[in-house]
A and B are shown apart, each in its own frame.
Chain A
Amino acid sequence: MSASIASPAPAGAARLTIRLVLIGAVLVLALLPLLNRLPPDSALYVSDFIVSITGKWITYAILALAIDLAWGYAGILSLGHGAFFALGGYAMGMHLMRLIGPRGVYGHPTLPDFMVFLGYKELPWYWLGFDHFPFMVLMAMAVPGMLALVVGYLAFRSRITGVYLSIITQAMTYALMLAFFRNDMGFGGNNGFTDFKELLGMPLNTDAARAALFYASLALLVVAFLVCTRITQSKLGRVLVAIRDAESRVRFLGYDVTQHKLFVFVLSAVLAGLAGALYVPQVGIINPGEFSPGNSIEAVIWVAVGGRGTLVGAVLGAFSVNALKTWLTTVAPDLWLFALGGLFVAVTLFLPRGLIGLFSKAPK
């Protein structure tokens, strides 16, 4: 694993090229909602579908960055990052449900439809506060962050690594899926949340809302990328790479490995939570399926395909695999899972450094 992964700091000229390409890519993405305003018969017109699906992929790219920070750099292969994404999504979902107010089918002044249907008399205590946007944002970060802190502390302190850690994180997301499927959890059970009306006073399902959510996601992707870059190019980034490659040696140098791993795992979970919060209003639904272990594994495959241990690779992987998925599930829906598995095997065998390995020279 160690020798095949690029070092965190590329050389000067290469770094400049990467920067220019990235700034160009962000500008191209930022143009999409503007081109959507052109008349539909224009050659440059971009459809609503493209704008909304690209906005969704941007949130996936943020999730991929989060996974890459933990896996590609610190060697923490989490197969449960979808849980952090879904928890952030549920926080946003609760906020959106509260904003529906009396416009629900049952017209109850405070209770969401599913609660009226299930016979709730009043709002459960853990729904309080979610009518405020800042509180929701805080919870979309704090809930995944706290979960990562507890699970991470117990696992890292006991020096659980490798496949055992992966299994624990997988079990975590599976357990949450089962819990959220239950109606008496107060999160809408099987159906989750949908029929959202508005966010920050802005009616959803309008061009303006689509564009606003798109730009918010793009802004978060840029910020997340800069934060991750700052970390991976600092001494902390080199400590993480050292932990990935020779964990016990790092301890003998006097580093508290548990602290470093917890830092990166919690930060990664917070990023995934924010990504999930931006994902939900763009797709208009959140249900327990988002916790399914398959989602987490798929996200890990994006990172592997793009190139783990490089932040650009993670983003590239999220976009390219999802583009392939969108195309393939339209032309041959039955083939998708085979293609995904085949892709993972092919990348592991022939492109161990991922797509990014095609563009950069092998390390010296």
Chain B
Amino acid sequence: MSDEISPPLGQGKAAKPVLYLDGVSVVFDGFRALNNLSLVVDPGELRAIIGPNGAGKTTMMDVITGKTRPTAGVVRFRDHDLTKLDEATIANLGIGRKFQKPTMFDALTVFENLELALKAPRGPFACLRWALTGEARRRIEAVMEEVGLSARAQDRAGVLSHGQRQWLEIGMLLMQDPELLLVDEPVAGMTDQETEHTAALLVRIAGRRSVVVVEHDLEFVRALGSKVTVLCEGSTLSEGSIDHVQNDPRVIEVYLGR
């Protein structure tokens, strides 16, 4: 960590990390998808993660969200040991995830997708009794406004364009009101203008919450202006500002190429 970047909105460095990974390894049939990986994310921090294909970026997200159990290592969210919890419990603790391939409920409308994501009691009986209050409606409308889907509220998610699907999924993340957002390749398949818009949106979201973005698009990562972690072969290769990692000889060798 040579280039110091001040955390967004002046969050104190001394604050307890939101996400803490230490010595995490995941082994699939002898293949080390993650190898002694460590990562610390502070409250309100925006962090970009880059790395070549197979570096372990998605596996890292699977470990944090409870989809994959690590073979070894510590995974903590605030004071919770995430290696012992299932996906739904982890999501309810305040970790939201956007998937690489946008995943939502195609048979439901944009509004209904956001309504399902809205933070509210999740049990079957609570869902049966659920009535949409003015407060909830306003929150959903505010998020639709934020991700630019207000005009499509009553359209089925299945008919949205690829870019709009990415946005709807980011909107669903916001409805969950998570403390930590894991965003996997949010600008894949987006136009330049959409990409810019998305970067601005993520910067706005960070500060209130911690955001971890996995992305290939270096221009986009530069636009985020955040600390960058470079993964390679399942562990951290380099960490710092975008300029720092782009000039790191090891990074140039394995990832950026020359």
Contacts and interface: CB of A to CB of B under 8 A. Distances in A.
Given A3-B158, A236-B128, A239-B127, A251 B86 contact: yes
B258 to A, nearest CB: 39
A254 B112 CA distance: 16
Given A241-B105, A241-B107, A364 B91 contact: no
A3 B118 CA distance: 23
B106 A245 contact: yes
Given A239-B127, A259-B124, A252 B156 contact: no
B108 to A, nearest CB: 6
Contact of B156 (A7, A238, A253, A260): A7
Contacts of A254: 88-89, 91-92, 122, 176
B88 A3 contact: no
Contact of A253 (B106, B117, B129): B117
Nearest to B130: A235
B123 interface: yes
B107 A7 contact: yes
A150 B106 CA distance: 31
B127 A234 contact: yes
Contacts, number: 93
B88 A245 contact: no
Contact of B87 (A2, A245, A252, A259): A252
Interface residues of B, number: 36
B88 A249 contact: no
A256 interface: yes
B115 A235 contact: yes
A252 B108 contact: no
Contact of A251 (B91, B105, B172): B91
A260 to B, nearest CB: 5
26 contacts: A3-B106, A3-B158, A7-B109, A234-B130, A235-B115, A235-B116, A235-B127, A235-B128, A236-B127, A236-B130, A238-B112, A238-B115, A239-B116, A239-B127, A242-B108, A242-B116, A246-B105, A249-B99, A249-B104, A250-B116, A255-B122, A256-B88, A256-B123, A363-B107, A364-B155, A364-B156
Given A235-B116, A363-B107, 20 more contacts: A7-B108, A234-B129, A235-B115, A235-B128, A235-B130, A236-B124, A238-B115, A238-B116, A239-B124, A245-B107, A246-B104, A252-B91, A252-B96, A252-B99, A254-B89, A255-B122, A256-B88, A256-B122, A257-B88, A264-B124
Nearest 3 pairs of A and B residues by beta carbon: A254-B91, A236-B127, A263-B124
Interface of B: 65, 67, 86-89, 91-92, 96-97, 99, 103-109, 112, 115-117, 122-125, 127-130, 155-156, 158-159, 172, 176
